Amino acid sequence: MFNKILIANRGEIAIRIIRACRELGVKTVAVYSDADRRSLHVAMADEAYHIGPPAPAESYLVIEKIIDAIKRSGAEAIHPGYGFLSENYAFANICEKEGVVFIGPTSEAIRLMGDKVTARKIAQETKVPLVPGSEGAVSDVEAEVIAKRINYPVMVKASAGGGGKGMRLVRKEEDFKSSLRMARSEARTAFGDESVYIEKFIERPRHVEIQIIGDSYGKVLHLFERECSVQRRHQKVIEESPSPAISDATRKKMGEVAVRVAKAVSYRGAGTIEFILDQNGNFYFLEMNTRIQVEHPVTEMVTGFDIVKWMIKIASGEKLPFSQDDLSIKGHALECRVYAEDPEKNFLPSPGKIEYLRTPSGPGVRDDSSIYNGYEVTPFYDPMLSKLIVWGERREEAIKRMSAALQEYIVLGVRTNIGFLGRTMENEEFIRGEIDTGFIERHPELLPPSLEDVKPALIAAALAMRNSTQEIDTSKQAPLSNWKLLGRKLAVSRGPLI
Amino acid sequence: MFNKILIANRGEIAIRIIRACRELGVKTVAVYSDADRRSLHVAMADEAYHIGPPAPAESYLVIEKIIDAIKRSGAEAIHPGYGFLSENYAFANICEKEGVVFIGPTSEAIRLMGDKVTARKIAQETKVPLVPGSEGAVSDVEAEVIAKRINYPVMVKASAGGGGKGMRLVRKEEDFKSSLRMARSEARTAFGDESVYIEKFIERPRHVEIQIIGDSYGKVLHLFERECSVQRRHQKVIEESPSPAISDATRKKMGEVAVRVAKAVSYRGAGTIEFILDQNGNFYFLEMNTRIQVEHPVTEMVTGFDIVKWMIKIASGEKLPFSQDDLSIKGHALECRVYAEDPEKNFLPSPGKIEYLRTPSGPGVRDDSSIYNGYEVTPFYDPMLSKLIVWGERREEAIKRMSAALQEYIVLGVRTNIGFLGRTMENEEFIRGEIDTGFIERHPELLPPSLEDVKPALIAAALAMRNSTQEIDTSKQAPLSNWKLLGRKLAVSRGPLI
Amino acid sequence: MMYTFKFQGDTYKINLEEEGEKTEVEISASGDSTKPDFSSGKSIPIEFQKIDESFYSIIVDGRSIGVGILKKGKKVEVFLGGDLYEFESISDREREKAKGVISGVQEIKSPMPSRVVKILKSNEDVVKEGEGIIVIEAMKMESELKSPIEGKVKEVKVKEGDAVESGTVLVMISSE
Amino acid sequence: MMYTFKFQGDTYKINLEEEGEKTEVEISASGDSTKPDFSSGKSIPIEFQKIDESFYSIIVDGRSIGVGILKKGKKVEVFLGGDLYEFESISDREREKAKGVISGVQEIKSPMPSRVVKILKSNEDVVKEGEGIIVIEAMKMESELKSPIEGKVKEVKVKEGDAVESGTVLVMISSE
């Protein structure tokens, strides 16, 4: 095992890795920008090096600064976490050349899977299903043949496209010709290029992914799936394992397929193969993430497999002692990402100082976070405050536990999506597992608070106003002593809400 | 399911029950003494009723006050937690008569198992092993026969005894007669009664207990064992499951025996059969606890069985849908009880205000507590601050995780046993599982802090002194802004410790 | 004493009175035992207890509420059931003032520390209420700030690329 | 500056000095990377940062320590590695006093910006060591300032109700 590992990351994932290292008896080295001097990962690590200004481009993304910190600290290995340099094959390559162990796959595997076209090709070669469609641009005649073959509905998409322009959904054969014409015309206007390609349109797609783990000796196992369909603006919000949508047969097949892709690039460490799942249970390769995922805890909760610890063990040369049959899912786990954002204002980030924090606890509850009373949520980094993860014997139990845990959460100073998450846990469609990537858009009613709590909140506000007046009046009072309204009476005038 | 449950308890177990109720959609009613108005169980419950002065004898133990709160709130059932009225059969009986569901066994089962003599008799009738010895007082001749039969070493104990007087350990047959004589003589002097009884002496006894759960339809299952050998003054400190000391065969036998005892009293709800385990794997019935145990979380962590939720479900009439074969142990769980006490001063309780608190978190870590920044640890109740529970794939992993979690704990304002617990996790004997009820006494070196941390602590103290001076000098400073010593130099003069 | 709060455009009044005084009462025990029902007319006692820094326990006739409260000047943030309610306390004088019509010059301020990405309007441009005026970027996300009134752009006080603090005035719009 | 602490009967001295000054140094980077070794002789920079209420981050030449610190008057509680260390700070004056050398005129100064609430002694009053001389109020809290020595009140330099700055001399006591 390594003596010392540098963690080229910040926030909750840096803390997650520090915890894994502490359990393994490995010393940790933190790096931090000016904005992170007061961050917990710095105080929790055994060593800490400053690497520059707050902007990631000037600190966490600067390869030379990370390499310099590795050399100064004498760390033998580097864990990239997620984001930042985690999928930068050039960085992994420099580490390899410098003789520093990169805790993750080889730079070659990162390079291959990082390029979407290459990744698709690898998937195709290993007989992994891809979303049916044309291979690149097509003529009018080819287009219609392919559309017929892959079956309607289909999408016509501008090859040079983006932003929805030159894109047409075609549901019936009779509409194809005119839609194709319009798409080409739009594409010509928007991009000066009328070439289009054809793709099967997936209705109500679900996002399901397979966690895989490989060692340096050719063994690759999968740790089953995670369903991450509840998203806003392609950002995952709620994840779970197992998926409520797939059968045991599909689970097995997806796992096998994922292992096949990973083996094709001699994959080492933890990785994720992302799939789109349609309403009939067909799944299609989307991409591979060659790093630890934000949502890895749900897999840890149901399998008992400590992914982060095993990444480190594998990087230090340990063999995976399990076979696929040793692994199984027990119960159900859910993760809610708590963001500093305002669901009512289109999930606008809400940076600021956390003036007060109470976090949930109890059986089956795990809160992976890096925040504290007084923590400053800066605009420089991702506004995720915490990952709240729960385990339950069954999905319904996990949902109720999440709901109860969210009730315990209190954050003052910044806006959060906690209320939205809580209402989602009580939504009938969500409870029935009827989720897809359009879930949040379809449920705007979950965004604002229900108004039934306005009145008690109002009473609390009035009591607080009254309390602060009292505190000024009674200056002899000790700072933490309390006043009592016991026996006093209260009245509220009819507000506009009754 | 019930609509509303009253919780006749306080502290972490009241919160544990509130969390279970929230998941079940059941409303909760808290009761509180004057000392508990600011306790978390009051703020977390849906209703709260005041029941008197701080002393338990004037509040939590007053049956009429609890019954009155039940009536005022309209609660349909009452959960007694542990301690207080939980094993008071008169209270359970009153509940039965008042038509309030007592979440636990029948008052009759509590009465039978609460009386030590009756409990032993039931154990004997159900062929549960008891510590070998005489049945009551014996003559000199009988004594020697029995001693020979149960095999040396044996204890000679004064029937009227206590406090070690009139007690003799006899290791060899040739010493028996003289020891017996001395014991009788001591007993006569001390108690005016020279009768003695004979009991097998258990060397390095371990405390192992079986968790059982029964429903109202005659089904009783066991949830395997917990080892609770690490104790101080008969107070459990560290608990784990499974026990590192017993074989699968013993586990099975202990479980069957425990179920037999429970069935003998038609046991309903959660209960625990405590055994003494000797160094050869023989176990002997000690007593039955007819309530939820403090250490129930270790069982929940390894079985995935939510004991508190099932207690409530069973009380509301649900059947246990499992069979014994559906239950199994996965991984290993440990619990450390964090007490406000001073290990260096013979574990003297350390009441006071918690001036600052940081609690551990992360994968496999559960902290069941009721404390917070500013919480007042009063002398009225148990000084337990929290139960820190961890799960790991194997025992060694759980120990390392506990060690890492303890490192994250910070408590200022009161003394705690956290350092002692941390050192225990690094003790070779503990790591090898060589524990028994004499473990703590045998390891006084674990009590005081190792002095290697004195110097960094000293530097921290000096920096704090310097910081506070600075704060007065720079009166313009915002309250939470920080000062930096960046670039400043520090020197320590040789203290007496080098 | 009467407290007046603004919340999402509405004005709420709440009266807290001492025991013994004659009070107009509108809180009562009701069927739902979780939350007090604040609509019927019975006089009931309230207990308000600080637990730690910002966590409070309110007991209303047996019903218990645990709530996070933060008072910043005239603003009171209340965190209850996962949601943050931002109330603005209004003194009597301010309520008088609020009755006067809004006019004159309105400022568009940066809601958080951010960078100016794009300025959509120039000086003297006529703008409608709700029309996009300026785009800022923070936390890797762009947001368009809109005009609160119909009027004319009086002054653009920043340029594209500027880093601005929370509260910085970016553009001034005149109602005339 | 030199700080002196009592801990479990022993006395410890620690010297914190500003950069640039010549210092007697005893902290150095060493083999064990977790905890700085405080016994050899190299001058190294220290960074001390408050994280929240009582949690601090100390970085000593790359080595990081997270520590809980609570200062109550002359007592400093430090929580590190699961253990609570209770240090008692001893001021220079106390050490001097212990040696029996303090005499002459002592000044009682205001420790912070405050208001004089009450003057308990007049000129020429005989006072004992530790006897209350003057009461000031700051941050809604009253504090009584005591005489550091036995002697006679030489001069009261303020009157009740005065607002005084940090460091203002309030009363002079002569040991005569």
Where does A4-103 sit in CATH, by number?
3.40.50.20
pLDDT given at position A291: 97
Contact residues for B177 (Cβ-Cβ < 8 A; gap 6+): B140, B144
Q: Which value, in Å, is the radius of gyration of the alpha carbons in chain B?
A: 26
Helix, strand, or coil here: C128?
Answer: coil
Best mutation target, C22, C52, C54, C143, to test chain A (most A CBs within 10 A)? C54
Residues of chain A contacting residue B15, judged by C-beta atoms under 8 Å apart? 362
Strand order in the sheet with B384-392: B283-289, B269-277, B206-214, B220-232, B235-241, B332-339, B384-392, B365-369
Residue A42 CB: number of other CB atoms within 10 A? 25
Whether C138 contacts chain A with CB within 8 A: yes
Q: Which phi and psi (to 5°) does residue A189 adopt?
A: -60, -45
pLDDT (average), residues B137-158:
93
| CATH number for the domain running over C2-93 | 3.30.700.30
Of the pLDDT bands very low, low, confident and very high (cuts 50, 70, 90), residue C33 is very low
Other C-beta atoms closer than 10 Å to the C-beta of B345 total 11
Contact B372 C62 (CB under 8 A): no
Superfamily per CATH, domain A206-454: ATP-grasp fold, B domain (3.30.470.20)
Span D89-118, mean pLDDT?
71
How confident is the model at residue D41, as a pLDDT?
47
Helix axes A107-114, A116-125, angle to 10 degrees: 90
Distance from CA of B367 to the nearest CA of A (A): 6
Interface A:C, Cβ pairs < 8 A: 223
Cβ of D62 within 8 Å of Cβ of A73? The answer is yes
Q: What does the pLDDT read at residue A491?
A: 43
User: Which pair of structure tokens corresponds to residue A462?
Assistant: 């009035």
Collect all residues of chain A within an 8 Å Cβ-Cβ radius of residue C49: 482, 484
The answer to whether D38 faces chain A, any CB pair under 8 Å, is no
pLDDT given at position C170: 92
For residues D154 and D169, give the distance between their C-alpha atoms in angstroms, rounded to a whole number: 12
**Residue in the structure block whose two tokens are 């000129």:** D123
**Reported confidence tier of residue B478, pLDDT bands at 50, 70, 90:** very low
Query: pLDDT band at B200, cuts 50/70/90?
Result: very high
Query: Do the Cβ atoms of B363 and A19 come within 8 Å?
Result: yes
pLDDT score for A486: 26
Inter-chain residue contact A47 with D64, CB threshold 8 Å: yes
Confidence of residue C92 (pLDDT cuts 50, 70, 90): low
| Separation between Cα atoms, residue A147 and residue A124, nearest integer Å | 20
Picking from A91-100, B73-82, B483-492, D116-125, which range would have the lowest pLDDT averaged per residue? B483-492
pLDDT in tens, B365-382: 999 999 999 999 998 999
Domain boundaries, chain C: 2-93, 103-174
Count Cβ atoms within 10 A of the Cβ of residue B450 and give its class: 0-12 exposed, 13-18 middle, 19 or more buried. Answer: middle
Q: Please tell me the distance from the alpha carbon of residue B85 to that of residue B432, in angstroms, as a whole number.
A: 38
Q: Do B23 and A304 lie within an 8 Å CB cutoff?
A: no
Structure tokens at B369: 């507590």
Residues from chain B that touch D139, judged by Cβ atoms under 8 A, are: none
CB contact under 8 A, A453 and C80: yes
Chain D: touching chains (3 or more CB pairs < 8 Å) = A, B
Q: D103-174 adopts what CATH topology?
A: OB fold (Dihydrolipoamide Acetyltransferase, E2P) (2.40.50)
What pLDDT, on a 0 to 100 scale, did the predictor assign at position D92?
62
* Average pLDDT rounded to a whole number, residues B197-224: 96
User: pLDDT value at position B420?
Assistant: 98
Looking at the complex, does the CB of residue C111 fall below 8 Å from at least one CB of chain B?
no
Residues of A in contact with B300 (CB under 8 A): 363
Predicted confidence at residue A6, as pLDDT, reads 98
What pLDDT, in 10s, does the model give residues A66-103?
Answer: 999 999 999 999 999 999 999 999 999 999 999 999 99
Give the model's pLDDT for residue B479: 27
Rounded CA gap, C81 and A408, in Å?
8
Residue B332 is predicted with a pLDDT of: 98
Query: Known catalytic residues of A?
Result: 291
The C-alpha of C104 sits at a distance from chain B's nearest C-alpha, in angstroms, of 35
Q: What percent of chain C has pLDDT over 90?
A: 25
Q: How far is B77 from chain A (nearest CA, A)?
A: 21
To test the contact with chain C by mutation, choose from B5, B6, B46 the residue with the greatest count of C C-beta atoms within 10 A, namely B46
Contact C59 B46 (CB under 8 A): no
What pLDDT, on the 0 to 100 scale, is given for residue D98?
Answer: 52
Which whole number is the average pLDDT over D85-107? 70
- Quote the minimal CA–CA distance from C17 to chain A in Å: 5
The alpha-carbon gap from A453 to the nearest alpha carbon of chain B, in Å, equals 14
Mean predicted confidence (pLDDT) in B56-78: 97
Q: Distances from the Cα of A79 to the Cαs of A76, C107, C169, in angstroms?
A: 10, 47, 42
Whole-number pLDDT of residue D8: 82
Would an 8 Å CB–CB cutoff place D72 in contact with chain A? no
> What tokens were used for C41?
């007319």
Does the beta-carbon distance from B462 to D53 stay under 8 Å?
no
Whether A479 shows a pLDDT value over 80: the answer reads no
**What pLDDT band is residue D94 in, cutting at 50, 70 and 90?**
low
Least confident range of B264-278, C160-174, D36-50: D36-50
pLDDT at D149: 81
**Interface test with chain A among B361, B368, B371, B386, by most A beta carbons within 10 Å:** B361
What pLDDT shows up at residue D34? Answer: 36
Q: How many helices (H) and strands (E) does chain B have?
A: 16, 23
Residue in this structure with the two tokens 């931090």, named with its chain if needed: A32
Mean pLDDT of B410-414: 97
Judged against a pLDDT cut of 50, whether residue C24 lies above it is answered with no
Interface size B-D, in CB pairs within 8 Å, comes to 207
What are the domain boundaries of chain B? 4-103, 132-200, 206-454
Chain C residues with CB inside 8 Å of A482's CB? 49-50
Beta-sheet strands, E only, within chain D: 2-7, 10-17, 27-28, 37-42, 45-50, 55-60, 63-72, 75-80, 83-90, 105-109, 114-119, 126-127, 132-138, 141-146, 151-156, 163-164, 169-174
**For residues A466-477, average pLDDT:** 47
Distances (CA, A) of B110 to A188, B107, B126, B160, B488: 84, 5, 17, 26, 67
Test mutation, A18, A19, A46, A475, chain D, max D CBs within 10 A: A46
Band of pLDDT at residue C26, cut at 50, 70 and 90: very low
pLDDT at residue B18, as a whole number: 98
Residues of B in contact with A331 (CB under 8 A): 304
Topology given in CATH for the domain delimited by A132-200: Dna Ligase; domain 1 (3.30.1490)
- pLDDT at residue B492, as a whole number: 44
Question: D34 and A372 in contact by Cβ < 8 A?
Answer: no
Mean pLDDT value across residues B432-437: 97
Supply the ipTM of this predicted assembly.
Answer: 0.84
pLDDT at position A484, please?
Answer: 28
- Nearest-by-CA chain A residue for C66: A408
The residue-averaged pLDDT of A286-309 equals: 97
Q: Does D56 touch chain B (CB under 8 A)?
A: yes
Q: Which of C33, C52, C57 sits opposite B42 (nearest CB)?
A: C57
Q: What does the alpha-carbon distance between residue B358 and residue B13 come to, in Å, rounded to a whole number?
A: 20
Q: Do C16 and A487 touch (CB under 8 A)?
A: no
Contact between chains at B465 and D43 (C-beta distance less than 8 A): no
E-assigned strand segments in B399-492: 410-412, 488-492
When CB atoms are compared, the residue of A300, A401, A482 closest to B363 is: A300
Rounded Cα distance between A380 and A39, Å, is 13
Chain A residues with a Cβ under 8 Å from any Cβ in chain D: 4, 27, 30, 37-38, 40, 42-49, 72-74, 372-375, 472, 475-477, 479
Residues of D in contact with A354 (CB under 8 A): none
- pLDDT of C122 > 50? The answer is yes
pLDDT band at residue D105 under the 50/70/90 scheme: confident
Cβ within 8 Å of residue C10, ≥6 positions away: A495, A496, A497
Could you tell me the two tokens for B192?
A: 């005016």
Alpha-carbon distance D17 to B440, whole Å? 44
Q: How does residue D43 score in pLDDT terms, banded at 50, 70 and 90?
A: low
A369 contacts A357 by C-beta, under 8 angstroms: no
| pLDDT the model gives residue D139 | 61
Query: Worst-scoring range by mean pLDDT, A187-196, B34-43, B273-282, B450-459?
Result: B450-459
Q: Which residue has the higher pLDDT, A290 or B165?
A: A290
Q: How far apart are the C-alpha atoms of A464 and A456, rounded to whole Å?
A: 12
**Catalytic positions of B:** 291
